[in-house]
Structure 1
Amino acid sequence: MESNQTNYFESYEDLEIHRLMLEDESRNKAYKDAIMNNKSYLKDKTVMDVGCGTGILSIFCAQAGAKKVYAVEASNLANLAKEIVKENNFENVIEVIHSKVEDVSLPNNIKVDVIVSEWMGFYLLHEGMLDSVLVARDKFLKDDGQMFPESATIYIAPCSVPTLYQKWDNLHGISMSLFAKHLRESRYNKPEIMHIQSKDLLASETALCWINLKEDTASDLDSYSIQHVAAISKNGSYQGLCVWFKCTFPNITNDGDASQVRLDTSPNSLPTHWKQAVIVLPQAQEVEEGEPIAFQLDMIRDQLDKRRYNLELTLLDPEVVEHPLPCTCHMTKCILTKAVLEQHAEKTIVEVNSNSQKDSILIEEDIDDEDSSSSIYGED
């Protein structure tokens, strides 16, 4: 386990990794907007940046008016972070601590007002450092302190993967479909990290899990599971399951022009360095609009390496799995259920509107009576 930890931290000494993160405009903008939108809250506050890397988030906090920032970095990149902090003239505000956050002790056991961290890994948790962030929260954050981000959600949706299927049907006039079949089988034991276009999503997304960074514990992160039936939104080829995440930041003072900031890594957003994770099916399945597809996805922490997660996709029979309510698939039971729900909703709306009109009439009559009585008493 110690070897895995050492390799993990050493991997973050690779400047190429940080180049990718620093060039990720969606990532940088989300953090900067979230911090600057809360400038009046951050002013004169104490902040801890867990896994500060090059120190960019610490500098954002200093620019927002934080009086002290503890920038904690376990890898040797801490030495570069110190130089970057000095380059930006914030060495009197930002203190870079070269240590794992689990081993950090702050002077006089002080507590911080804010913990900021870019801890996310592929499909949010894989190779991430959320456990360390939760340790920092429990050890250093004030009871009324804030987490940046404060929550995160993992989403999933069935998709097509044309780069691993159709691309090989005709390569310079030659069919390479057999090669593509073996290629997919060789990659079936781990998810593909790749960009999926929004047009290749075949159904609406559903949430695998929601993580509350202010309350969840490390044991809460051990496993997640969902059994789901998705109604296909268009004709296409079902070739994989796409996984991505969104992070939400607190909106404490809303000093900026934007509303609550979200970092979105979905196929419908601008590309990020996290891309999306795709569990590729060994065989494609042609599907039609309205057709139901059922599956179970289990996401389980690896027992040997706590920073890694294993994804297991099980294809299920939509005839025997319970469907969500309402379900938009074309199965007769779902069509009938949807019709009943819609009728009930329409009836409820009519009743509410009718009751509102009656209440309005009664109120007007009461007012008329009071006005009439006042007039009579006035004449006396």
Structure 2
Amino acid sequence: MSGDDYFKEYERVEMQRLMLDDRPRTEAYKSVILDSRNSIKGKVILDVGSGTGILSMFCAQAGAKKVYAVEASAMAKLSKEIIKENNLSDVIEVHQCLVEELELTEQVDVIVSEWMGFFLFHEGMLSAVIEARDRFLKPDGVIIPESADLWVAPCRLPRYFDYWDNVYGLKMQTLGKFQRENQKEPVVTDVEEMDLMAEESVVKSVVLKTVTPDELKQFKFRTLVPATRDGKYQGLCLWFVCNFSIDEDNLFFLSTKPGEPKTHWKQTAVVFPFDIEVEKGDPIAFEIVFRNRLDDARKYSIEVTMLDPEKEEHPTPCYCKMTKCVVIQKYLEERSNREEDDENILVDDEDDEGQS
């Protein structure tokens, strides 16, 4: 999707309806804005990628002094009418342009943006938020959301593997194998919580006030985790969690983790061309690398490397089934029991002294 196609996609009413119907997403923004009125009331707000203007209107309802809504697509024209329809034109000023082209006569107190893409960064607008922050945000200003984490966990993907075992009573594993071997891109899909095969890990954390473009060009994550159940290890599941908390009294999070209320982002799966049978406790090791694509700065390529658990450094303690880790677990458990016994003896001695 080229830059022009990206903005044309957001002109479609169907796309806007999809996002508006995403209740976890929309309610998260509505809750943090309306329940944090003290951080919004009387303030100047910049809404980056404002779309229909719904976040701008939430800010106006919360008492914002002025809201600058920036939308590059033709949706900006419709949003002006929507804002007028809600009698908020005196507060909200719509600009149809890129953030890079925006000119304001004042600095802003708050930047609000629904910038997240698939697996947080892909086809997102974080670069535009950074541009807006560097040009327009006051030093003591805040950004909504405040931070975000990208998570990963090994998973099974029955939709891409088991489905082909029985298609109307017939086997079509040949077609399934062909699909997996030619699956060059990650897929956006719903992954069930029961399909996660190991504990999740944070791949990348970003704090919106401090993140820089350079640290987003490429990043990687290497880990070793024990399988938490028996089954087929068939891919990696990616999702994100955003922290919307702009003050200590109001804590809000938006999670796209499997098992949480479904969002239009769903989850992103890196589908392996083959599956690996694992038992609970088996070590799973991998490295995942994210690279900003040269042909489109909004997109990322993902590269996964399977690692040999025998050659990887294990955390301490590690709860996998490898002999060295089992021995360390046993040693730490015995040491903990001895320390607990020593503490109990000390307490008993103090009680005896108190009674004498």
What is the Cα deviation at residue 147 of structure 1? 0.7
Amino acid at match of 1:211: V
TM-aligned CA distance change 1:219 to 1:86, over 3 Å: same
Amino acid at match of 2:284: I
TM-aligned CA distance change 1:284 to 1:43, over 3 Å: same
8 A contact 1:37–1:253 mirrored in 2:
no
8 A contact 2:55–2:112 mirrored in 1:
yes
Unaligned stretches of 5+ residues in structure 2: none
What is the Cα deviation at residue 260 of structure 1? 1.1
| 1:272 lines up with 2:272 in the alignment | no
Of residues 68, 71, 76, the one that matches 2:69 is 71
> SS at the partner of 2:298?
coil
8 A contact 2:146–2:246 mirrored in 1:
no
Partner of 1:41: 39
| 1:13 lines up with 2:8 in the alignment | no
TM-aligned CA distance change 1:253 to 1:154, over 3 Å: closer
8 A contact 2:144–2:246 mirrored in 1:
no
> Which of structures 1 and 2 has the bigger CA Rg?
1
Partner of 2:110: 114
> SS at the partner of 1:163?
coil
- The alignment-based identity, stated in percent, is 45
What is the Cα deviation at residue 337 of structure 1? 2.2
Q: Residues 14-68 of structure 1: CA distance to partner in whole angstroms, max 9, x if unpaired?
A: 2211111010011001111111221122111111000000111111111111111
Q: Residues 196-246 of structure 1: CA distance to partner in whole angstroms, max 9, x if unpaired?
A: 011111111011111111111111111111111121111111111101111
What is the Cα deviation at residue 304 of structure 1? 2.1
Of residues 313, 324, 331, the one that matches 1:322 is 313
Over aligned residue pairs, what C-alpha RMSD do you find? 2.2
Partner of 2:288: 297
Q: Distance in 2 between matches of 1:356 and 1:141?
A: 57
8 A contact 1:35–1:61 mirrored in 2:
yes
Unaligned stretches of 5+ residues in structure 1: 365-380
Partner of 1:98: 96
What is the Cα deviation at residue 4 of structure 1? 3.0
TM-aligned CA distance change 1:94 to 1:358, over 3 Å: farther
Partner of 2:242: 247
| 1:339 lines up with 2:330 in the alignment | yes
What is the Cα deviation at residue 346 of structure 1? 5.3
Q: Distance in 2 between matches of 1:90 and 1:358?
A: 73
Partner of 1:231: 226
What is the Cα deviation at residue 8 of structure 1? 1.9
| 1:203 lines up with 2:198 in the alignment | yes
Of residues 159, 165, 173, the one that matches 1:163 is 159
What is the Cα deviation at residue 338 of structure 1? 2.6
What is the Cα deviation at residue 111 of structure 1? 1.1
> SS at the partner of 1:299?
strand
8 A contact 2:245–2:253 mirrored in 1:
no
What is the Cα deviation at residue 356 of structure 1? 9.3
